Amino acid sequence: MRLGLISDTHISKKEERLPPQIKDIFAGVDLILHAGDIYLLSVLDELETIAKVMAVRGNGDIWLPNDPRLRDNIVLDLFGFRIGLTHGIDYPEPSWRTLEEAMQYEFRGSVDLLIFGDSHVALLEIHKGVFLINPGSPTFPRQIKGPGSVALLEISSKNKAKAQIISIATGTASHTLTYNLNDI
């Protein structure tokens, strides 16, 4: 199964659109997960022309109306992986709560893959046995206007997950990491 991961799109005006490269990068994905700071539901409509969309509210989405694609946090079970989607976690540690405390609060238990946004900084890392994935922001990377990144996640029935950070400017992977559930 292939998933398109996106966060922090920050589209605040109806005339603004997502970078057109996203359509090519996400071509053929089975599901798109948006990790919040959407601002307008039309962003989800635009993504839904590519694949089914599930999203979480970011700290900038408190005014968004209810929508069946939108939740505070999401937990998915896919091919033996427990996947958590939220907007922000406190990482890197230490902070006011540990990763374990954050997972308990956001997902009511641990997850194998944790997809989040908020920082606008792309990240692929395994920490305390959890595969952390932040796709960055396609429109506002590192708080600077311009082309940023999204991510692709491939999950196989062999308990293996592979994620890639994809540059919007080049359409190529800038970082790749593989996670094997059997190795944890």
Band of pLDDT at residue 144, cut at 50, 70 and 90: low
Domain of 86, in residue numbers: 2-183
In contact, 159 and 78? CB cutoff 8 Å? no
CATH number of the domain bearing residue 14: 3.60.21.10
Q: 131, 154 in Cβ contact below 8 A? A: no
Q: What is the pLDDT of residue 131?
A: 97
Q: Give the model confidence (pLDDT) of 74-117 as tens digits.
A: 999 999 899 999 999 988 876 788 999 999 999 999 999 999 99
User: Per residue in 5-43, pLDDT tens?
Assistant: 999 999 988 878 899 999 999 999 999 999 999 999 999
Q: Nearest CA to 69 among 83, 88, 56, 85?
A: 56
Q: Write the DSSP symbol of residue 146.
A: S
Euclidean distance between the first and the last CA atom of the chain, given in angstroms as a whole number: 21
Condensed to tens digits (0 to 9), the pLDDT of residues 55-66 reads 999 999 988 999
Nearest to 5 by CA among 29, 32, 27, 30: 32
* Mean of pLDDT values over 112-136: 95
Could you give the number of structural domains in the chain? Answer: 1
pLDDT at residue 146, rounded to an integer: 66
CA distance 86 to 117: 7
DSSP string covering 63-129: TPPP-TTEES-EEEEETTEEEEE-S----SSSSSS-HHHHHHHHHSS--SEEE--SS---EEEEETT
